[in-house]
Chains A and B, each alone.
Chain A
Amino acid sequence: MTTATPTVGAGAQATGKPTSAAGRVRSRLNSRTATLVSIVIALLWTIPTFGLFVSSFRPEAEIKSTGWWTVFTDPQFTLENYQDVLFGASSSSGQLASYFINSLAITIPSVLFPLAFASLAAYALAWINFRGRDWLYIAIFAMQIVPLQMALVPLLKFFSTGVTVAGIQLLPAWNLVDEQKFAQVWFAHTCFALPFAVFLLHNFISQLPRDLMEAARVDGATHPKIFRTIVLPLITPALAAFGIFQFLWVWNDLLVALIFAGGGNETAPLTVRLAEMAGTRGNEWQRLTAGAFVSIVVPLVVFLSLQRFFVRGLLAGSVKG
């Protein structure tokens, strides 16, 4: 390679200016083709979502008999699907409003708890000196690779029967009913999120300037004070990044909710209800399309408005790791 490149370079130089001008035209053309192709692909990528979106506004009879692309020649729109799927009276209609509230009730605490606990832990692991600190960090870091499937069966048993060692009941069963089951889901989501949360926040917190910390220590600030007044304000972008990440994860989660929330409209989130509808009412497209869009719209808004934070968090989490 090293021997070949100089000759190529010399050749290009020898032919002088015309080539470079032609080259400039060619590269502009290239970039124009690249622009065109990349836009076409981006549009193709969006077509499935767009089809769903358009369909959700079409009358039931239309959805079931013609393709959504016919709206361009025969536009017919209605809001009835949304009315039906959100507030409909019959049990088959979806009643998604109720599940929407469940999704909110599950997601908000499931984001806050790991956020708070992990930032405390990450601070301790980064800036408090104690024996075994590095090993502890490595242990928590390593837990990221444990698939959550590994914890599901015993954790469910823990909620339903408590902890018994050698016949002695150490912890009682939780015995939760109806909406109280939210607590189980919060607990499970918090546990499963912690390893990644600690890792991500540790990445940020450990990179704060050492001088700053030492100056605060010299001034007599205690660790809790440093944490509250110096660290927290500085890591808001990281908190936002993890917050968005966790929000999308919990809102979109199916497995954890399916196991710990149960299936009824007292606790189950949108994803559980939609998966159920897709299974039992797979041909009720007027409800499925509107329902899917109801579940998509919140994460989409969060995502689009906070994309900058999300991407930054993603890059910090995956590339630095």
Chain B
Amino acid sequence: MEFDFAEEQPKFLMLMYGLIAFVAVVGGLLLLLDVVPAWFARRREAQLIAASTGGGPLPRRRKPREGLFALFFLLPTLLLLSVGLVVPALRTVLLSFMDAGSDNWVGLRNYGWMFSEDSIVRVLLNTLIWVLLVPLVATTFGLLYAVMVDKARFESVAKSLIFLPMAISFVGASIIWKFVYAYRSEEQDQIGLLNQIVVSLGGEPRQWLLDSPLNTFLLIVIMVWIQAGFAMVVLSAAIKAIPADIVEAARLDGVSPWQMFWQITMPSIRPALIVVVVTLSIATLKVFDIVRTATNGNYDTSVIANEMYNQAFRYGENGQGSALAVFLFILVIPIVIYQIRNLRQQREG
């Protein structure tokens, strides 16, 4: 069968329904908010006229119904957040204390399983490696690059090129790098860049993604490749925001570039630096697409988010999957607390 455009029509129809629903909901809400207060205003006006002509008592001026407005403005958001996020999250916590089919309470068994099963301990360990390495390497690279490219020629082009991977999906990026890591046996020409480099240096080609623990590091390279651009852009903006007179004063004092970096640049961009590290840490904890696309979690490369998906949606182990999700949430909390404490210090200091 050739590609048949007619077969795609139901999708466009569905998309149209979606857009109609959008217009109806948002337009309806705005209309409602416009019409109802106008009606009240007219009624009040009528009462005022009646009162002034009839000589009766003036109607008491009521407080404007701010609360009611707020309720309608917030209604869609609050409804969706409670149905789609708050209630499910609470349910996940409950499910994590239940068995695979969510029928019986099993206490802490799912959590015990997480730390006793060797393959899951491996998963936790991999996640630890990810979350230690990605923020560190990506931020360091981003910072160095931001400093180096600052006021260089072609700055914006160079920055765009580094930043570009941010637009590429994790799936796309994983395919790009799988191609870099591609393997052909020794007799053949290599098609993967990495093996070609190894071969031309006189080495033997390797199946990079099958080698544990090296493969985890090679997957981490993908994440760093994507996220370094984010770090670079945020830090570069922070560097440009350092007041020029401070830099100038330091320069007049004859400060060396090295001193300039550690004594002027670093303290000034510390808040941005913390934001970048925190954001990257959280993003890395949740990494899923890269592992799934590149190795599907095989060869000892799985991480928590990937294992959570497998348990809950492939093996039907709702209890164990939920426990992994809750554990992921618990891991995020200290990072966020650290950031909040930092923000508070900044505000006080």
Looking at chain A's contact residues, the main secondary structure is: helix
- Which B residues touch A102, using CB under 8 A? 11
Asked if A182 CB lies within 8 Å of chain B CBs, one says yes
Asked if A22 CB lies within 8 Å of chain B CBs, one says no
Task: Give A131 to B234 CA distance when docked, in angstroms.
Answer: 36
Asked if B97 CB lies within 8 Å of chain A CBs, one says no
Q: Is B191 touching A128 in the complex (CB atoms < 8 A)?
A: no
Q: Is B289 touching A275 in the complex (CB atoms < 8 A)?
A: yes
- Which B residues touch A319, using CB under 8 A? 234, 237-238, 271-272, 275
A interface residues, tally (CB under 8 Å): 130
B interface residues, tally (CB under 8 Å): 126
Within 8 A of B (CB), among A250-273: 251-255, 258-259, 266, 271
Q: Is A52 touching B325 in the complex (CB atoms < 8 A)?
A: no
- Which A residues touch B107, using CB under 8 A? none
- Which A residues touch B47, using CB under 8 A? none
Task: Give A52 to B169 CA distance when docked, in angstroms.
Answer: 14
Q: Is B191 touching A153 in the complex (CB atoms < 8 A)?
A: no
Q: Is B74 touching A38 in the complex (CB atoms < 8 A)?
A: no
Q: Is B73 touching A190 in the complex (CB atoms < 8 A)?
A: no
Task: Give A8 to B77 CA distance when docked, in angstroms.
Answer: 60
Closest Cβ of chain B to A275, distance in Å, is 5
Task: Give A190 to B271 CA distance when docked, in angstroms.
Answer: 30
Within 8 A of B (CB), among A144-202: 145-156, 158, 178-180, 182-183, 186-188, 190-192, 194-195, 198
Q: Is B179 touching A147 in the complex (CB atoms < 8 A)?
A: no
Task: Name the residue in A42, A140, A271, A311 with the highest tally of chain B Cβ atoms < 10 Å from its Cβ.
Answer: A42
Asked if B175 CB lies within 8 Å of chain A CBs, one says yes
Residues of A bordering B, CB below 8 Å: 1, 5-6, 8-9, 11-12, 30-31, 34-35, 37-39, 41-43, 45-49, 51-52, 55, 63-69, 86-89, 95, 97-98, 101-102, 104-105, 108-109, 112-113, 116-118, 120-121, 123-125, 128-131, 133, 136, 140, 143, 145-156, 158, 178-180, 182-183, 186-188, 190-192, 194-195, 198, 222-225, 227-228, 248, 251-255, 258-259, 266, 271, 274-275, 278-279, 282, 285, 288-289, 291-292, 295-296, 299-300, 302-304, 307, 311, 314-315, 318-319, 321
